[in-house]
Structure 1
Amino acid sequence: MMNKIFCAMTIVGIPLSIAGSVLHWPQVMMFGIYCLTIIALASFMGRATESLAIVSGPRIGGLLNATFGNAVELIISIFALRAGLTEVVLASLTGSVLGNLLLVGGLSLFVGGIKYKRQQFSVYDARHNSGLLIFAIVVAFVIPEVFAMTMTEAETVTLSIGISIILIVLYLAALLFKLVTHRGVYTSEEVEEHEKPEWSKQKAILVLALATIAVAYVSENLVHTFETVASSFGWSELFIGIIIVAIVGNAAEHASAIMMAYKNKMDIAIEIAVGSTLQIAMFVAPLLVLLSSIFYQHMPLVFSWPELIAMITAVFLTNSIMEDGDTNWFEGGMLLAAYFIMAIGFYLL
Structure 2
Amino acid sequence: MLGSVLSNILLVLGSCFLAGGIAVLRDTDENGIPKNLEQTFSSTAAQASSSLMTLSCITLILPAAFALAVNSTTNGNNTNVDPSTKILDISYGTSIVLLIVYILYLVFQLKTHKTLFNEKEGDKKDVDDNQSNKQNTNQSDDEQRGDSEQRPDDIRSDQNLLDRRENREREGEHNIERGVKIKDDIDDEPDEPEQHINVMIALILLIVTTVITAFSAEFLVDSIEGIVKTLGISETFVGLILLPIVGNAAEHVTSITVAIKDKMNLAIGVAVGSSTQIALFITPLLVILGWILNKPMSLYFMPFETVCLFIAVLLTNYLVQMEDQIG
Please indicate the TM-score interval, normalised by the length of the shorter structure. 0.5 to 0.7
How far 1:279 sits from its partner (Å)? 0.8
Alpha-carbon distance in structure 1 between the residues aligned to 2:294 and 2:111: 39
2:146 paired with 1:147: no
- Structure possessing the higher radius of gyration over alpha carbons: 2
Partner of 1:164: 95
Segments ≥4 residues shifted beyond 6 Å: none
Aligned with 2:104 (options 151, 155, 173) = 173
- The DSSP-based 3-state class of the residue aligned with 2:313 is helix
Contact 2:98 2:280 in 1 (8 A): yes
Mean Cα displacement is larger for which, 192-201 or 281-290?
A: 192-201
Alpha-carbon distance in structure 1 between the residues aligned to 2:41 and 2:204: 31
Alpha-carbon distance in structure 1 between the residues aligned to 2:194 and 2:206: 14
Partner of 1:220: 218
- Write out aligned runs for 1:1-349 (5 A): 93-117=1-25, 118-137=38-57, 139-149=58-68, 150=70, 152-184=83-115, 186=116, 189-190=119-120, 194-196=190-192, 200-202=196-198, 207-295=205-293, 297-324=295-322, 325-328=324-327
Contact 2:109 2:117 in 1 (8 A): no
- The DSSP-based 3-state class of the residue aligned with 1:225 is helix
Alpha-carbon distance in structure 2 between the residues aligned to 1:196 and 1:211: 28
CA pair 211-199 structure 1, distance change in 2 beyond 3 A: farther
Contact 2:8 2:271 in 1 (8 A): yes
How far 1:104 sits from its partner (Å)? 0.6
Higher relative contact order (CA 8 A, sep 6+): 2
Q: Which amino acid aligns with 2:5?
A: V
CA pair 257-198 structure 1, distance change in 2 beyond 3 A: farther
How far 1:213 sits from its partner (Å)? 3.0
Number of aligned residue pairs: 234
- Normalising by structure 1, we get a TM-score of 0.62
How far 1:113 sits from its partner (Å)? 1.2
Alpha-carbon distance in structure 2 between the residues aligned to 1:187 and 1:174: 12
> What percent of counterpart residues are identical?
38
- The DSSP-based 3-state class of the residue aligned with 1:153 is helix
Tell me, which stretches of 5 or more residues in structure 2 are unaligned? 26-37, 71-81, 122-186
Tell me, which stretches of 5 or more residues in structure 1 are unaligned? 1-92, 329-349
How far 1:293 sits from its partner (Å)? 2.5
CA pair 253-205 structure 1, distance change in 2 beyond 3 A: farther
- Normalising by structure 2, we get a TM-score of 0.66
How far 1:97 sits from its partner (Å)? 1.2
- The DSSP-based 3-state class of the residue aligned with 2:114 is coil
Alpha-carbon distance in structure 1 between the residues aligned to 2:113 and 2:268: 19
Q: Deviations over 1:279-338 (max 9, x none)?
A: 11111111111122255641111011111111111111122122122225xxxxxxxxxx
